[in-house]
Structures are given as C-alpha cells and as structure tokens.
Structure 1
Amino acid sequence: MRKLILLASAAAGVLATPHLAAAQDKTESTGLAEIVVTATKRSANLQSVPVAVTAVTAETIENQRINEFGDLTRAAASLTLTQSTASPNNAIILRGIGTYAFSIGVEPSVAVIIDDVPVVQQAQAFDNLSDVERIEVLRGPQGTLFGKNASAGAINIVTRDPSVAFSGHASATATTDRGYKADGAISGPISDTTGYRLGVYYNQWDGNVRNLHNGHRLNDNTSYGVHGKLRSELTDKLVLSLSGSYAKSKSDGTAATLRYIDLNYRPAGATTPVIPRYNGVSILPALADIQPGADNRRTRVDNDGFTENKQASFSGKLAYDLGFASLISVTSYQDWKYDFSADVDGTDLAVNGAAPNVTNPIAPGLGVSNSGPYHSKSFTQEVRLTSKGEGPLSYVAGAFFADAKTNRSFQRGPALILANWYGEQSTRSIAAFAGLDYKFPTKTTLSGAVRVNNERIEDFFVNRLPTATVYVSPTSIGTCGAGSQQCAGRNEDTVATWKLSVNQEIAPRVSVYASAATGYKGYAYDISSGYTPLRTQNPVRSETSTSYETGLKSRFFDNRLQLNIAAFYTDYDNFQAQSSQYINGALQQKLNNVGKLRTKGLEVEAQAMPVEWLRLDASAAYTDAQVLSFPNAACYPGQAQTGTGCAPSTNPTGLGNVQDRSNTQLPNSPKFKINLGAMVTRDLGNDMKGMFGLNYQHQSKVNFDLLGNPLAEQKAYGLLNGSAAIERGNVKATIFVNNLLNEHFVSGIGDGFGSYGVHLVTQVLSRDSDRYFGLKVDTKF
C-alpha cells in the first residue's frame, strides 16, 4: 500500500507541472472509428466481413485494462476460460466449445494466432498481452484459412508495427493486492527504408492463497518479456519484416483451496459418517483453521509446488508487390518449455506410511507429489497470394506447412500412485487453401473458401517404472517398458474443409449475411498416465463440425451507433474431451470421443457514441451448448445409484457404474453472458482531460464437470470494474478498482472423492475473484 501511495504522489506531481514534450497533433473524428481486421487473411473493414468477429482495439485494451489473455472475457461475451493451477490444463472456450485434456497429443478447438503464426500449445496464450495493436475473436469454425485446430474459432492477436517517426510509451502500475507491473516500447526509423520497434514488460503479483503450513503465499506470478520488430523496404516492391520475442513466467507456489467437504457422508448401508482419509491417514488435522467456502483463501500443503513457462519465437515475413496482388511468405520457429511440481495429496501430512519422504526431482515433502517438464518446438511456413485493388473480385490462395514436436516427462510418488514415464508426439501438416469473394452490382457478395489438409502424427511412450514390463504382442501383459513394441505409432489423415457465405448490403452501412462452414481437428494420441499400447493402436478420432450462421452488421446515425447480430447452429461429431472412463475395472482419466454435440445461440454486439465525450459498449450471448449423445458415460465419483441415473453397466465386458449424459449442458458454458461498458471523456480545463469508465460482466451458472457432478457448479455472478483517469499532455494517471462488489467466483472446480472417500471439492481462484484497487501512470512520447 505504501508503494501505491508513493506512485500516486509521483503521478500527481507530474500532472501538476507543465508537460515539456509537445503533444502530438490529433485528427478530430466524428463517431465510431473504422476498424480494419484480417479475419479473412485480407485487410478489410470489420463491418464488411461476413464473419462473427469481435475486434478489440488498442483503445479498448487500454480502457478495459485487458492486460492478460484471461481479460478478453470482458470484451467477448461468447468467450469463457477454464483455468487450473497448471496452464497446460487450461481451456479456451468459444460458443461453449473448448478442449480440456492432459495429453500433449491433442490440439485445442480454438486456435490462437500471433502475428500470422499459430501457437503450438494453447498454454502459450496464457501470458501478458503487451504492445498489442488489435485482437480479433473469430467465432465458429475458422479452419479453411486458419488451419485444422480452429474447429470452434480462432483468436488472432496483432502486435504493433514499427512507426515512421520516433515514438514510444511507458507505464507503471501498482495494486493493493501486492501487484506491480511496468511495460514500455520505443519505435522509430533506422534509415529512410528501415524501422524498428522494441517492447518490454515486467509483472509481479504475490498471489491470493496462504499456505498455513509455512506461511507462504501461493498462486503468485512473476513474468517478464521482450518483443522486437524490424521492418525494411528492401526495394520499392519488396518488404521484409522480422519479429522475435522471449517471455518467461514463473509461480513459486500453486494451489486450489477447499470449497466444500462432506463430513456427514454415509455410503449405502453405513450408520456412521466416513472419516476422510488419504492412504488410510485421516486428513482432518490438515483442515485446521480452514473454513471451506467460496471465500476460502487458505490451504495446508507441505509442497508449495511451482510452474515455469519459457517461450521464444522468431518469424520472418516477406511481402512482394506484384501490382495486381501481393505475394507473402511467413516463416516461423517457436520453442516453448514448461515445468511444474504439484502436491497431489493436498495435505501436509505423512501419508506415505513407512516409505521415506519424497525428495527431488519431484519435490521435497511428506506426501505425494508429481512433476515433469514439457518441451514443444515448431517450424511453420506459409505462402499466400492476396489480391489488391477495389474491384469486384478479391481472393487469397496459399499453402501451409508445419512440423511440430512435443515431449513430456512425468513423475509421481514416492510410494503411492507411482508414475514415471516419457512420451512424445510429432505432427506434420501440409495444406493448400483458397478464398474468393465476388461483389455483384446488386451489392451482393458471394464468398467461398476451401482447405485441403494432410496430417501425419506419430507418438512414442515408455514406462520407466522398475515394475514396467515389455509389451510384445496383444496376448502379452506388458506395460510399455523400455523396448516394447506397439508403444510407438503413426497415423495419417487427409481432409477438406470449406466455407460458403452470401452478404447483401440492404442500405448504406447495413448488410445481412448467411454462411455455412465445416471444421476439423485432427487425430490425437492420449499421451498421459495410464497409457497402454491400445492408445497407439487406436488414436482418438478426428473432431469435425458443421456450422450455419446468419447475421446483421450495421452502422446508423452518422457513424454513432454500431449494431451487429449473429445467430448460429453448429453440430460436432467425435468431440475430443477428457473424462473418466472405466479401464480394466478402474476409473481413469482418459482422452476420448464423447460423441455428438450441438451448440446454438444468438450474439449481439453494440457500440455507441451519442456525443463525442461518451462511448458505450455492450455485448450479449445466449449459448445452448449440449452433448447430444453420450451413453455409457462414467458416473462421477461418489454418485449415488438412486435417483441420479447412475447404474451398473449392462455391457458384457463390464464398464462399472455408468450413466447417460446425452442432452446435457457442456462444461463451463454459460447460457447467458452480458458485458456492458461506458467511458466518459471530459475537458477539465488547464489542458487536462478526465476519463471515467465502468464495465460490468454477468454470466449465468455453469458446471465444470462433463459428468455432471452437482458440486462442481458455479452459480451466476456479476463483476463490476471502474476507473477514473486524468490526462495532461502525454501523461495519464488512472485509478481503478477490480471486482468492486467483491464477488467471489471460481475458474475451475474438482472433486477429490476418489482420493479421500468423501466429497472434497476444491476450487481454482483467479486474481479477479477478489476486489483490489490500483493506480497506473503512463506516458507517451
């Protein structure tokens, strides 16, 4: 708090003195600004593109404090996130569709593209957003132009380019929840034909959970990064752009907290409550001074755990002006490393019996821990020909190549639920794509796009436990010990996806459109604990989607009101999801094809500037995302067999207790979500401006469990954020409050019934689930 006061004093001093740098000339504008997007791999006005896309501009990023990837939910009503204490287990969800999986072999249903380059692992996206020019949230299948892992949508992030004149910005932020951030960028010319841009950031937060075992704060984060761009006009027709970045993010402690525990649980026929135990050890001592609930910020574990992300990327872009079109080549290389350690038993008790305490490389502690690094590398090459000019015909055609490899080591122990394995998956993709638009004199535009993609995946797995045996043939009982056959495999698939749309302008700046599209996400190997040769022999089948959409895009009242509406209906087959399954009589987490899904709904986005000093933003989404067919789904752990639909399987092979989860809502898919925002800008005199903003976000209840555990439900909630800023010249100071009403909510829920014998529900708490105040000071030059 002291640092926050000092920063506020410094800001007041800067604003109270005459600003020495001359303010840049600003062109007065009337109404809403035009937004150019690249949602169709061609630059086009947002309102002319027959795609449901939310464009988040640099101004919106600043006004709504979109500093991290998770903050995008404030701007896009159809976007939700499921988060855990380990970023590889997070999920990006659009229109109710997302991928949650432990396997390194599965790709997300929502692609993330940064400056024309798709990220290898979805976890790479969960980082700071620094020096960003624009973010486009494209809803619905986008695979024809953005690739095979965009069956539910794509998020296109565009960073700032070098400027023609020397310029820059710098900012510092401090918050009452012990958070500090600094970032900045400089840009300018090196010569008449070459310019540069260099941005840096540093972010530190102490965390929101207290470990009573040692007094440490958990869920903290320290991150920093650097991003550079170089743009050079090699000739009057050839332009070279180089981009490179490095980022590191680390947490010295990770934890979920206790939300609920059933200390009165009695199995059928029992007369006394079950005492929660882990390996026969009562865990009640570990619950001392912990009050379960949505506002619980305490835990007691002997292993704090940690996570660490490192990523480096480099890309080069060549654009050659052919006169009638531009020939563009984009080459990229990415390297992402992730490591973690986590407390598995969730206590600070000696639960291993007579076994010795665990030591490195897992983690020091008394109980059960797991750990293991990930490493992903990717090379991509895209070449495309993009039309130029304002004629009725526009097009894009190109080819894409990607070669990616991810490996992971995993250990768990030292005495219970032992695991020690290494696995890897490599993916090689080759694709050709084309898109064509033709505008008729009737102001009707027909559009079509197609992509043919060939993908080859390979996997490898070895069980390193001393007890692992060698698998030789289907008649053996080997467990993929070193030298096993059929614990490495290959699968190849070729598929075509397409999109058709028609757009009709019915009045100036008012148009309607309709489209149909297909999506595809390739085969995947389930490379995770419990791996058997059957996973190599039977990879998880590809996920496909067919989508229909119609919409309205409009601007009225001399550009002061924008209203966009989209209605959608999408079917998914063989949806890839992580869920519990009975394998050889035991319940295990496994990647599998759920079956048929359907998501349908209505989205409304509106922006208004009735007067020059007032900006209003609103978006709303109704999403009905359901599992249409999921028979023989496992019962969730601890599910009663009376009145819940849970019953012993009639399958002759014996699947344990099963239920029918057909016609049920998908996890973390709110039916209703609303975002409202207002920004007032007023002249305060003495060369000063005041800005006052409010943002409200509300969503209906969700359940985080695909199998329907009612204890995994998050009730409806709303978040109110506010800010007040004073700007003088090129200096601006902003006071803000996050979650003003202190509405506690969760980003993920789990039930440990299988470990403790009673329902013990834990929750993952994001930073925004608590109220905090802050001050940001920034300057531009």
Structure 2
Amino acid sequence: MALNSIRIGSSAFALAAALAATAVSAQTTPSNDTTTPSSQAPANVGPAVTDSADLGTIVVTANKRAENVQNVPLAVSVLAPTQLKAAGVTQFSDLGRVSPSLVIRTAEQPVNSNVSLRGVGTFAFGIGVESSVAVLVDEVPLAFAARAFTDLPDVQRIEVLRGPQSTLYGKSASAGLINIITQDPTSTFHAKANALATSDREYGGNVSLSGPMGEDLGYVVSGSYSNWDGNVKNLFNGKRVNGHEAGNFRGKIRWTPDANLKITLSGNYLNGNTTVGRPFTHMSPTALLRNTAGLTEAVVMPGVVVSPDNTDVSNNFNSRTKYQGYGGYLRGELGLGDMTLTSITSYDHFHQTDYLDQDDTSYSGALGNNNQVGEFKEHMVTQEVRLQSPAEKPFRYTIGAYYADVNFARPFVRGPAFSAANWYATIESRQIAGFAQVDWTFLPKLTLTGGVRVQNEKVDYTYQDNLAVAPARSFFSGGAQKTAPTWKVSLRYQITDNLMAFGTYATGYKGQTYDLTTGFNANRAAAGPIRPEKSRDKEVGVRWQSTDHRLTANVTLFSTHYTDLQAQTIETLADGTSNFRLTNVGGLTTKGVEVETSARIGQDVNLRGSVTYLDAKYSSYPVAQCYPLQTAATGCVTTASPTFQNLTGTRAVQAPKWKFQVGADYAPSLTDTLKGVVQVDWQYQSSLFFTPRDPETIQPAYSIVNVGIGVRAADRRWEVIGFVNNLLDKQYYGSLVNTAGNFGNQIATQAVLPRDFHRYGGVRLAFNF
C-alpha cells in the first residue's frame, strides 16, 4: 500500500531538476498571448488569471493589489480551473492534491476538519478557535473553516499564500491563507456549463451565465449541484455513507456608472448534507466494547471484517451533518484622482447540525447506543476600507482599516450510556485593526516593502453546563481584550526583466480564545484565555519566467518559528489539578524549500510541477498527552499523574517531509476544428502522523496517478474527457483515529476514507459559449 519514502524522496529531487532542465532546454515558438507583459504593472484591479492550458502572465491580488505573480515577493501558488479538473479536485478538501505545502485533514464532520500549511494548522473542537490558515472568497474572510468544506464555487482562480499573512489579512492568517476568486461579470454574454458522472455513483454539474444588463450594468450568476452516496457501506441498514449532497448558488451584479466608480453586489447560498462512516482498519482480537464481556467485534459490528482495506461499518444511528449558509458583500471602488478607495462590507451566516454514533457500533444494549447531537451557529459582519496609490509609480502604498464581529453558538448533547454531556456555549469575537503597506522602488531594480498592522481584539464567552449538580457552578462567563502589532519587511531585486530575487521577514499572530468544550468548569474559567499564538518567518526566493511566458521556475526557502503554539495538552489549573484541553504548549519550527515550475512546449504540450521539502518539529512541547496504549518504553511518563510525554524535537502532525505534484496536458490537433486531449496528474506524499508519535495513526507514503483522455473544440467551446482517478488503486486515509479507549484499551483504529480511496472512472463534459 505504501511506497518506499527514501526512494521517492530521491525521485522528488530528480523530478525538480528534470523540470528545471526542461524549462531551460525546451524549444519554443513565439507566443500569441495577449496577456499583460511582465514588464508592465497592472492596474489596481486587474484581469483574471490565465488558465494553465494557455500560459501567460498570471495576475494575483495577494498584496490586495493586482500584480504579476512573478513580481510578488511572497510564496504564492495559483491554481486555475483546468489544473483543478485534471487533478480530480471538485471540493475544497481536495486542494491539498495540487498545492504541495497544503495538507487538508478531513474528519467525520466538516467542523472537525483541519487545514495546514507548511506543517502548521489548528486541530480543536471548540467554537471560536481560529484556524492558522485563513480562507477567503473574493477577499471576504470565512469565520468558520467548515463553511469552505463543500463544492468549490464558480472559480476563476485560487491563490494559496504560504507563510504568515497577518499584516494585510489579520489574526486568522498566522500560517497562510487560501483566497478563492470567483468569476466576474463579462462585457458580452457568456455561458459555461460543466457536468460530471462517475462509475461510483457521483454526479453533478454547474452552470454560469454572465453578461451585460445595460450599458453600465453587468451580472454573473452560477449554480452547482453534486451528489455522491459514498464509498463506505453501513451493514446495519444496507445504505452507503461517507458521501455528500450539496447545492450552491452565487450571483454578482456590477454597476460602473463612470470610469471612476465600480460597485459590486454579491450574494451566495449553500445547502447540503454529509453522511458519516468511519471503518475500523485495525482491531485487537481481544477488544471488547466498553471492556464488557461478550461484546466482541462480531457481536457489536456483525459482518464487518476489520482490515486496512475495510470499507464497511455497522452503525445503528444515522451519523450525518446538515448545513445551510448564506451571505454576501457590497464592494465599492472609487477613483480619487490617481488613487483608488475600496470599501468591502460583508455578512455571513452558517448553521450546521451534526449527529454522530459515538460508539461506532450497532450494539443497542445498556453500554452501547451512545450518540451525540450538536449544532454550530455563526454570524459574521465585516467592514474593510483601504486607499491605494497607483501601481505604476516608484512609491506605492496601501492603507486601510478593518472591523469584524463574529458570533458563535454551540448546543451539545451526548449520551446516555457513557461520557454524558449537555451544555450550551457562546463566544463573540470583535476585531478592530489598522494596516499599511508601502512599496518603494528606491533604485531602478531594487524595491523595499514594509508593512504594519495594529489590531485590537475583544473576546466574550458564556458556558452553561446543564448536567452540573449543585452546589457546583453551572454557568460561566468572561472575556479578554488585547492589542497586538504584526509587521513585515521585504527587499526585492529585479535582476533582469525576467528574473527576480527577494528576501522577506514577517510576523504572524493568531488571536486568544477559550476552549469551550465538554468539561469546561470553574478551574478552566479561572485559568483565563488561551494566549495568542505568534510566529516569525524568514524567506528568500527566486522567480524566473521566459520572455514569451512559456517557461517558469520559482524557488522559495523558508524558516518559521511559532511561540505559544495552541494545541491539545495537559494543563495545570488554578487549584493545582490537571486536565486535557486546548492551551499554549510551547513552540514549533518549520523550515524547508518549495519549487514550482511550468513549461509550454510548442502549441500542444503544457507541463507543470511543484515539490516541497518540509522539516516541521516541535521546538518546545514538554508536557503532552500520551496517546492511547503508549507505555514507558515508548516515551510515556507513567509515574506522573496524569501521565504525559515530551514531544520536544519530534515531527509535527500533518507535516510530510516530501510532497509533490506533476501534471501534463497534451492537446494535438486532430482536424482544423478538433483537438485531442490527454491529461496526466501524479501526486506523491511521504508519511505523516495524524497524532504525535502514535503508530496507529501513521499514514504511510503514497502516490496517486490520475489520467484523462478526450476531445475538445479547437476554440475550447466544448470538451468531453473520460478519466480514471487513482489509476493504480493505491489506498490511503484522509484521517486515522485511535479509539482504543472505547474498547477496553485494546487496539481499535478507525479511518476517514478519502474520495479516491479506490480507483474510479468517469466522464467530464464542459461547454463554453
């Protein structure tokens, strides 16, 4: 099931070298691209990214200003629709396939999924705990990571910014951000439609219409629907689970009454559900549910054969989620002489109800049938105002202010057999920030960039424990407030028109919070808030692109240190007792190198490749929870109460040493109006831990190959492609969970299976008019 990591690690170096050599030696023909030349700076609001099938100048808004990505002194990956389709990316959770520094850990419910960049992410169950990686849609932040775990909208491009981005994007971007840019209105009528059907019962599609509604008014509306019943079978009722159903709608209206004013109104709505099934992949023959005599595997999970390839469960409770969300934004862009004033006002609402068979069996006796039901409710209002100088002048600046108010609520019930819980919590986070960034080309080829952000955050919470027995307290409330600065400085040297080198130093910040989960009590309340997580990042990089834009090679070296890392650990409370919770555990250092290349050979062949080497380790984590079944021989200090392990110096979770992706698109002419299409995408990831040191939660190295073959119109108005994903049928896991504690402290390991756990095929149809 796994490949040899050493052999593949060497192959990754060879791959990067081969791609670079291809970029240098490829014979090219003159390009007829009409994209913006790299020597010219785009306007403050620029055009869309060129699709990967037609390489050219790629324009991004990573610095909140439209710029050629090759001139941006940041580590930025840009993902275009063609690349996403070839890699089998249909949902947000698939993005880790095409961005090697990105790992997305799926979970039994979207709210428990986790996003990591360069080995840094936040895994927590509490409401109001920010992710280290921010997710934005059209520059509007999502307060709830689960809001992103659905079908991707009508994507124009996706920008993945690696490393701290707190100076321009705030306290939820301490490790990086993902910016999803959707399609804009067009000046003429334009229609797109895509449809998908697979051999394993997935089907769906999307439609997008755009054009003018008048001389000064334009629109774009899009809708999508997808349905997949899953790749896990529940033997209790014969239904398939681990699937999803989702519908999305998005619309924009843009009014441009004159050359100096542009107003965009956007709205969105989503509605969907997921089903849950976590097959057991490893179980001791002596394991007993709740360590009760007679409750063997065969009794509590009849028909299930536990193995690494198991795709069966036996659950007598319908584990699932239902979610609904809506929101929108009003964006205004006003020209003030040669400057631009931009205002973005947004509102977002998201509501999810989750149901889980907590014992993951079909046993219904006194010690089984334990279930949990909860809700996540979120409301967010944001306001950003910024003023920008012209992009083409030697001295350029962006100054702005930001306000956000986010409210979360979580009712939660679990039981009745064991681990009973019944509580209701709320948390409100308010942020006010001012930021500024200056770019000064003080010499013809040398540009200095400096930025600073000062933000004030205020957090208030309530927690009602409905199971507390008097005289124990049942209601808690409190709050905290903090003002914090972040900053960055960068030096960029334009060696030639096509070659740029840069160095950047930046700081990151993730806000304080409270761990509002089961077990919150007077001790936790007295302990106060979890302190902010801070980071310091150093990067150097080189960006090169040939004059005709056909060849690109980018390299980034980075080293980032995190202090007051927010993670699960043992905490000593105000009265001297200890428990396990989210708190500040110490530090983490992540360093490595990222290589991204692309080449267009002739008119028919496009190549792309990227590779990341990552060394992410805990620099300070002296008191961590022992994993289930850990002994003194494997590092658990069993003489202490509670027991603990020292993780200092060990590899961080969700941090593979090697990860790469290679893609090729060959489109030879068959006739004057028809082209063939051959697509190949190869993804590799070395081993990683889902839980520190736990041998039951190691994901071995794996390699996935996707292929597609079809035909398209020469003018790209339509295409039909048959594809096979996971061609070699290699099995891997989206997540592994050690549930030995539920089975008498005997081995019991469960998996969340990815969409392509087994090979499947299908057909993609696309129309573009």
Match of 1:705 in 2: 691
Contact in 1 for aligned 2:77/2:160 (Cα 8 Å)? yes
Deviation at 1:644, TM superposition (A): 1.3
Structure 1 CA distance, aligned partners of 2:125 and 2:578?
16
Contact in 2 for aligned 1:218/1:304 (Cα 8 Å)? no
The one-letter code sitting in structure 1 at the alignment partner of 2:502 is Y
SS of 2:340 mapped into structure 1: strand
Deviation at 1:279, TM superposition (A): 5.5
Alignment of structure 1 residues 174-323 onto 2, 5 Å: 174-251=197-274, 253-263=275-285, 275-278=288-291, 282-284=295-297, 285-323=299-337
Alignment of structure 1 residues 425-464 onto 2, 5 Å: 425-464=427-466
Match of 2:734 in 1: 747
Within the candidate set 566, 573, 596, 2:587 is matched to 596
Within the candidate set 337, 341, 354, 2:355 is matched to 341
Contact in 2 for aligned 1:294/1:745 (Cα 8 Å)? no
TM normalised by structure 2 equals 0.90
Deviation at 1:586, TM superposition (A): 10
Deviation at 1:725, TM superposition (A): 2.2
Deviation at 1:638, TM superposition (A): 1.4
Contact in 1 for aligned 2:580/2:625 (Cα 8 Å)? no
Contact in 2 for aligned 1:233/1:239 (Cα 8 Å)? yes
Within the candidate set 528, 537, 542, 2:532 is matched to 542
1:778 and 2:769 are equivalent in the alignment = no
Alignment of structure 1 residues 388-467 onto 2, 5 Å: 388-465=390-467, 467=468
Deviation at 1:276, TM superposition (A): 5.0
1:630 and 2:621 are equivalent in the alignment = yes
Within the candidate set 607, 624, 629, 1:616 is matched to 607
Deviation at 1:731, TM superposition (A): 2.1
Deviation at 1:198, TM superposition (A): 0.3
Structure 1 CA distance, aligned partners of 2:578 and 2:313?
27
SS of 2:742 mapped into structure 1: helix
Structure 2 CA distance, aligned partners of 1:638 and 1:105?
31
Structure 2 CA distance, aligned partners of 1:378 and 1:89?
20
Deviation at 1:506, TM superposition (A): 1.2
Deviation at 1:350, TM superposition (A): 2.3
Provide the aligned C-alpha RMSD in A: 1.9
Contact in 2 for aligned 1:352/1:368 (Cα 8 Å)? no
Question: Deviation per CA, 1:553-581, whole angstroms, max 9, x where unpaired?
Answer: 00136422100000000100111123566
The one-letter code sitting in structure 1 at the alignment partner of 2:184 is D
Structure 1 residues 274, 114: closer, same or farther in 2, change over 3 A?
closer
SS of 2:359 mapped into structure 1: coil
Question: Deviation per CA, 1:567-623, whole angstroms, max 9, x where unpaired?
Answer: 000100111123566889999652121211100000000011122211110000011
Deviation at 1:65, TM superposition (A): 4.0
The one-letter code sitting in structure 2 at the alignment partner of 1:429 is Q
Match of 2:14 in 1: none
Structure 2 CA distance, aligned partners of 1:369 and 1:205?
25
Runs of 5+ unmatched residues, structure 1: 1-25, 264-272, 354-365, 471-477
Structure 1 residues 709, 389: closer, same or farther in 2, change over 3 A?
closer
SS of 1:73 mapped into structure 2: helix
- Equivalenced residue count is 715
The one-letter code sitting in structure 2 at the alignment partner of 1:493 is K
Match of 2:22 in 1: none
Match of 2:24 in 1: none
SS of 1:434 mapped into structure 2: strand
Within the candidate set 98, 117, 131, 2:140 is matched to 117
Within the candidate set 475, 478, 488, 1:489 is matched to 478
Structure 1 residues 456, 585: closer, same or farther in 2, change over 3 A?
closer
The one-letter code sitting in structure 2 at the alignment partner of 1:459 is Y
Deviation at 1:712, TM superposition (A): 0.8
1:58 and 2:81 are equivalent in the alignment = yes
Contact in 2 for aligned 1:351/1:368 (Cα 8 Å)? no
Match of 1:468 in 2: 469
Structure 2 CA distance, aligned partners of 1:281 and 1:347?
14
Match of 1:357 in 2: none
Within the candidate set 362, 367, 370, 2:369 is matched to 367
Contact in 1 for aligned 2:57/2:549 (Cα 8 Å)? no
Structure 2 CA distance, aligned partners of 1:221 and 1:50?
39
Match of 2:43 in 1: none
Contact in 2 for aligned 1:82/1:91 (Cα 8 Å)? yes
Structure 2 CA distance, aligned partners of 1:172 and 1:195?
26
Structure 1 CA distance, aligned partners of 2:108 and 2:400?
39
Deviation at 1:281, TM superposition (A): 5.7
Structure 1 residues 306, 276: closer, same or farther in 2, change over 3 A?
closer
Structure 2 CA distance, aligned partners of 1:585 and 1:301?
41
Structure 2 CA distance, aligned partners of 1:575 and 1:318?
38
Structure 1 CA distance, aligned partners of 2:95 and 2:253?
28
Deviation at 1:45, TM superposition (A): 0.4
Structure 2 CA distance, aligned partners of 1:128 and 1:582?
42
Deviation at 1:352, TM superposition (A): 2.1
Alignment of structure 1 residues 152-167 onto 2, 5 Å: 152-167=175-190
Structure 1 CA distance, aligned partners of 2:33 and 2:463?
62
Structure 1 CA distance, aligned partners of 2:341 and 2:764?
42
The one-letter code sitting in structure 1 at the alignment partner of 2:648 is S
The one-letter code sitting in structure 1 at the alignment partner of 2:75 is A
The one-letter code sitting in structure 2 at the alignment partner of 1:308 is K
Contact in 2 for aligned 1:352/1:416 (Cα 8 Å)? no
1:43 and 2:70 are equivalent in the alignment = no
Structure 1 CA distance, aligned partners of 2:755 and 2:583?
32
Structure 1 CA distance, aligned partners of 2:758 and 2:546?
39
Contact in 2 for aligned 1:582/1:656 (Cα 8 Å)? no
1:532 and 2:521 are equivalent in the alignment = yes
The one-letter code sitting in structure 1 at the alignment partner of 2:435 is F
Contact in 2 for aligned 1:93/1:110 (Cα 8 Å)? yes
Structure 1 CA distance, aligned partners of 2:644 and 2:569?
13
Structure 1 residues 582, 207: closer, same or farther in 2, change over 3 A?
farther
TM normalised by structure 1 equals 0.89
Structure 1 CA distance, aligned partners of 2:445 and 2:231?
55
Question: Deviation per CA, 1:47-70, whole angstroms, max 9, x where unpaired?
Answer: 000000001123433443432112
Contact in 1 for aligned 2:287/2:296 (Cα 8 Å)? no
**Percent sequence identity over matched residues?**
36
Match of 1:330 in 2: 344
Contact in 2 for aligned 1:581/1:633 (Cα 8 Å)? no
Match of 2:40 in 1: none
The one-letter code sitting in structure 2 at the alignment partner of 1:539 is P
Deviation at 1:710, TM superposition (A): 1.0
Question: Deviation per CA, 1:252-303, whole angstroms, max 9, x where unpaired?
Answer: x31111010122xxxxxxxxx5645456661321244322223110011111
Question: Deviation per CA, 1:512-538, whole angstroms, max 9, x where unpaired?
Answer: 100100000010100111111233332
The one-letter code sitting in structure 2 at the alignment partner of 1:759 is I
Structure 2 CA distance, aligned partners of 1:161 and 1:533?
51
Question: Deviation per CA, 1:127-185, whole angstroms, max 9, x where unpaired?
Answer: 11121111100000000001111000011111010000011111211000100011111
Match of 1:681 in 2: 667
Q: Mean alpha-carbon deviation: is it higher for 739-748 or for 228-237? A: 228-237
Structure 2 CA distance, aligned partners of 1:275 and 1:394?
67
